[in-house]
Amino acid sequence: MNRTDLLQIAQTYGNPTYVYDAHKITSQYERLTNAFKNVSNLKLHYAVKALSNVSILKLMKSLGAGLDTVSIQEVQLGLAAGFSAEDIMYTPNGVSLREIEHAAQLGVKINIDNLSILEQFGSKHPEVPVCIRINPHVMAGGNHNISVGHIDSKFGISIHQIPHVLRIVELTGMHINGIHMHTGSDILDIDVFLYASEILFNTANNFKNLDFIDFGSGFKVPYKKDDIQTNIEELGEKLSTRFNEFCKNYGKELSLNFEPGKFLVSEAGYFLAEVNVVKQTTSTVFAGIDSGFNHLIRPMLYNSYHHIENISNPEGRERYYSVVGYICETDTFGNNRRISEIREGDILKFNNAGAYCFSMASNYNSRYRPAEVLWYENEAHLIRKRETFDDILRNQVEVNLATTKKEKKIPKNA
């Protein structure tokens, strides 16, 4: 997919619009499976929360992936996309026992991350196999916003609470079929990930009839030229060797599971927005676009970097611009970025817009959420219509406040 294709998509479907390259998603999937080719039983569960469009889920299914879900609604999306229940892992956090029971009734794999729910579920449903999510107390990427394995995280059961887990399992007679961890996003150091994996292996030894070990994901992708990223090939070589060794000692061939989201779809996504106004102040040149953090909140929420290009004028003289949105808040996408000369009406392209972008969009300021397009086999396919005003009003219930109040009668002896 080139610049001309993107400009044609912008012209055909309007702006702002998300575009996803199916070829890039496929190549990332194949890169990960090739890195672990020495493991006989590898299973990738795509993290639905990264990008949950049903067409994307169907693409993942065609590649052979399962799904990693975090809500009953994501489970239902997966089933609607044609996934079998046994290919869906359900890993919620902070949900009710009622929701977990609903997921179990649908037949998906259950992953529990706290002692209270583990005991309640095991007591009521000891016949339902359960995976346990542990917290290895290992930081991923060094950022608390995207790391979920540190000691203060709300996610997972602390490795120091394994004796409590074993007690619950013994008392309820429940079957533990998997051990899981997810340290968070932007894993930089493979040795840190391997260290956390050893904690997972040691924990797994406490359970004698496992079917799989789930190592989560969080592999870092590049956001700019020459950016660092997780060396998937080196990780695959080292972890595969250690996993095969563990299975041999364990006495059973287990499945090695991952739940990649960002790794598969981040680089495959582009966000296209039109420039509404170029505004010169005494110190800054602003490029104001027809979008805001209602469509792309990651720069404001996580201080995330998205490379921005002017695809309407790629050969223009480069100047420094602060790219901002139209929301009545501070919504700066990039400060003092060196971009080829921007004119009102130009189309800007944001890179790495495949993961946690549309899925975190909102209707703030009563703005419409954008369209989504899948670039598949050299053709653009609309996979989500742009919202309209009818969508804004759809679930609102109007109350008639114009009714006349009845006059209160005043008692005679008052």
Please indicate whether residue 131 is annotated as part of the active site.
Answer: no
DSSP 296-338: --HHHHH-----EEETTSTTSPEEEEEEE-SSSS--EEEEEEE
The torsion angles phi and psi of 386, rounded to 5 degrees, stand at -65, 140
pLDDT tens for each residue of 193-233: 899 899 999 999 999 999 999 999 889 999 988 898 999 99
Per cent of the chain over pLDDT 90 is: 85
CA atoms within 13 A on the CB side of 332: 11
Question: pLDDT digits over 134-167, tens only?
Answer: 998 876 554 444 344 445 678 889 999 999 999 9
Rounded to whole angstroms, how far apart are CA atoms 17 and 369? 9
Cα torsion for 93, 255, 129, 105, to the nearest 10°? Answer: 70
Indicate the burial class of 411 (C-beta count within 10 angstroms; 0-12, 13-18, 19 or more): exposed
What percent helix, strand, coil does the chain show, rounded to 5? 35, 25, 45
* 319-370 per-position pLDDT tens digit: 999 999 999 999 999 999 999 999 999 999 999 999 999 999 999 999 999 9
Distance CA 365, CA 196 (A): 43
Please give the Cα distance from 25 to 30 (Å, whole number): 9
> What integer best gives the mean pLDDT of the chain?
93
Task: Give me the catalytic one of 131, 247, 328, 357.
Answer: 328
| Domains of the chain listed by start with CATH number | 22-265 (3.20.20.10), 269-386 (2.40.37.10)
Instruction: Please state, in angstroms and rounded to a whole number, the distance separating the CA atoms of residues 342 and 320.
Output: 10
Spatial separation of the C-alpha atoms in residues 337 and 286, rounded to whole Å: 10
Q: Where are the beta strands (DSSP E) in 48-183?
A: 66-69, 88-90, 109-112, 130-135, 157-158, 176-180
β-strands 347-350, 285-289 pairing: unpaired
Q: Where would I find the H helices in 71-161?
A: 72-80, 97-106, 115-124
pTM above 0.75, yes or no: yes
pLDDT computed for residue 192 by the predictor? 87
